[in-house]
Structure 1
Amino acid sequence: MLEIRDLHVSYGSIRAVQGVSMAAVPGRVSLVLGANGAGKTTTLKAVMGLLPLSEGHVIVDGEDLTRKPTARIVARGVSLVPEGRRVFAELTIEENLLMGGYTTPKKSRTRLLGEVFDMFPVLQERRSGAAGLLSGGEQQMLAFGRALMSEPKYMLMDEPSMGLAPAIVERVLLTARTIADRGIGVLMVEQNADAGLRVADDVVTVSAGEVVFSGSVEEAKAEKAILRAFLGETALAE
């Protein structure tokens, strides 16, 4: 299990994250909800060693990786699918994927590349083409594939449906579900709460850098305040 324990992150005098605790569990999707500025992305970046922690711990399968270099965190089985996909537009699809496997032994990369192509056939069909020519949805699949190239046990996903057409959102989030069903623990920040709840097992809601709810999807749906805050009044009629 990936455990985030009492995490605190500050930007100068501003406390962006205050005592956040949550977890990614193998085979489950944990959905992280919260308004813009709630500290969700900051939490994911801090877990990956991309931002310094003021307090708290990041524990992966019993090993304390707090304040360890990002490369070591990735090597221990944690990968990040960043907000906005962040593909290398001028590199080919295959080159993008191989960038994701930089911590993976060379003998494993061919196997992992084949597994990613099996999961996303469109990437194989266009493997020699520039990543910047892919559609938004295809670029998101590439971002998923790149993260899978490190053979992670846990994947952090930051707003995977951002900027995508409604028809593509469901496909992207179902892919997150498929990844979890392969035994990977998924911790997913997602603004589209309605769609996210359809694929999630657990829910964490964050407000002003603090966790205000943590429980199963069923428990979240039973909490009218949670539904009102993140899905709107129409959810209360369901």
Structure 2
Amino acid sequence: MLQISDLHVSYGHVEAVAGIDLEVRPGQVSLVLGPNGAGKSTTLNAVAGVVRPARGSVRVGDLDTTGLPAHRVVGAGVALVPEGRRVFAPMTVEENLRLGGHTTAPGRAREVLERIWEIFPVLHERRRGAAGLLSGGEQQMLAFGRALVSDPAFVLLDEPSMGLAPAMVDVVVEKVGLMAESGIGVLMVEQNAEAGLGIASDVTVVNRGQVAFRGTSAEVRADASVLRAFLGESALAEG
């Protein structure tokens, strides 16, 4: 289990995260929703070792990873897919993937890469082409693959549907579901509430760095006012 307890993160005198608690279980998708500036991305970055918490703890199983640098967090089994994808555009697709696997045991590297080709066949087709020539959706697939090649137990997804066409959002959601089905625990931050609710087992709404609501996807759907209160009337797409 990935367990986040009483997490606090500050930027100078501004407290961006003020006591968030979250749990992510293997094989499940935990969804985090909230308005811009609520502390969602900062929470992921603190878990991933990109920023250092001021207080609280992060545990991966029995291992306390609080405040560890990012490369050690990856080694502990947690991989971050950042907002905006951030692929290395001049490098080939395969080179991007191999960079993500620098912590993978040599005996596992080829096996893991073969699994990624199976999950994302478009990456195999484009493996020798520059990452910058991929479409936005294909770059998101590459960002997923780059995280998975480290053979993680948990994946952190920061706004994976951002900027994508509706059809590609459906593909992204499908791939996230496949991650969970393979046994990986997924902590996903999303603005597209409807897309996230379709695959999430539990939902946490954060506002001003704190937990404002916690429940199952079914409970959120039954009380859409919860989402509208924090995300506005457009939080739930029609249909």
Q: TM-score, normalised by structure 1?
A: 0.96
Partner SS state of residue 168, structure 1? helix
Cα distance in 2 for partners of 1:68, 1:220 equals: 34
Structure-1 separation of matches of 2:7 and 2:40: 12
Opposite residue 85 of structure 2, the aligned amino acid is R
**1:1-238 equivalent positions in 2, closer than 5 A:** 1-229=1-229, 230=231, 232=233
Query: Deviation digits for residues 83-112 of structure 1, max 9, x if unmatched?
Result: 000100011000000011011122221111
State whether residues 224 and 236 of structure 1, in contact with CA within 8 Å, keep that contact through their aligned partners in structure 2: no
Q: Do the aligned partners of 2:194 and 2:237 also contact (CA within 8 Å) in 1? A: no
How many Å separate the matches in 2 of 1:34 and 1:226? Answer: 10
Contact 1:194 1:231 in 2 (8 A): no
- In structure 2, stretches of 5+ residues that fail to align are none
Q: Find the aligned partners of 1:161 and 1:237 in 2 and give their Cα distance.
A: 17
Structure 1, unpaired ranges of 5+: none
**Mapped partners of 2:207, 2:44: distance in 1:** 15
Which consecutive aligned stretches of 4+ in structure 1 deviate over 4 angstroms post-superposition? Answer: 233-238
- 1:81–1:155 contact (8 Å) kept in structure 2: yes
Q: Distance in 1 between matches of 2:236 and 2:138?
A: 31
Asked if 2 retains the 8 angstrom alpha-carbon contact of 1:60 and 1:76, the reply is yes
Letter in 2 for 1:226: V
* Aligned positions, number: 238
Report the CA distance between 1:76 and its aligned residue. Answer: 1.1
Contact persistence 1:31–1:203 (CA under 8 A) = yes
What CA RMSD, in Å, does the superposition of the two structures yield over aligned residues? 1.7
Q: Residues of 1 paired with 2:205 and 2:99: CA distance? A: 33
The 3 A distance-change label for structure 1 pair 237 and 48 is closer
CA distance in 2, matches of 1:106, 1:70: 20
CA offset digits 1:17-76 (Å, max 9, x no partner): 000111211111111000110000000001111111110000101211111121111111
Mapped partners of 2:85, 2:25: distance in 1? 23
- Measure how far apart 1:233 and its partner are: 7.5
- Pair 1:15–1:128, CA change in 2 (3 A): same
> Is this contact kept in 1: 2:24–2:187, CA < 8 A?
yes
* Residues 37 and 104 of structure 1: CA distance in aligned 2, closer, same or farther (over 3 Å): same
Query: Does the 8 A contact of 1:10 with 1:53 survive in 2?
Result: yes
SS in 2 for 1:205: strand
Alpha-carbon distance change, 103 to 233 in structure 1, aligned in 2, over 3 angstroms: closer
My pick for the range that moved more, 85-94 or 210-219, is: 210-219
Equivalent-residue separation in structure 2 for 1:190 and 1:43 (angstroms): 13
Report the Cα offset of residue 221 of structure 1: 2.0
What is the TM-score when the length of structure 2 is the normalising length? Answer: 0.95
